[in-house]
Amino acid sequence: MSDRARLNEQLDFVDEMDKAKGVFRRSHLVGEDRNEDDAQHQWHFAVMALILAEHAAEPIDVGRVVAMGLLHDVVEIDAGDVFVYDESAKAEKAVRELAAAERIFNLLPPDQARYVRDLWDEFEARETPEARFAAAIDRTQALLQNLRTNGAAWREHGIVASQVFALNEQIGLGAPALWAEIRARIERAVDEGVLPT
Q: Does 113 reside within a domain?
A: yes
Tell me the per-residue pLDDT of 93-152, one tens digit each, with 9 for 90 and over: 889 999 999 999 999 999 999 999 999 999 999 999 999 999 999 999 999 999 999 999
Listed residue (24, 56, 59, 57) closest to 39, CA to CA? 24
Q: Does 196 reside within a domain?
A: no
Q: How far is CA 132 from CA 56, 58, 137, 170, 171, in A?
A: 9, 9, 9, 8, 8
CATH number, domain at 148?
1.10.3210.10
Whole-prediction pTM: 0.94
Domain count within the chain: 1
Provide, rounded to the nearest whole percent, the portion of the chain with pLDDT above 90. 83
Task: Look up residue 53 and give its amino acid.
Answer: A
Integer Cα distance of 13 and 103 in angstroms: 10
- What range does the domain containing 171 cover? 3-191
Q: Does 197 reside within a domain?
A: no
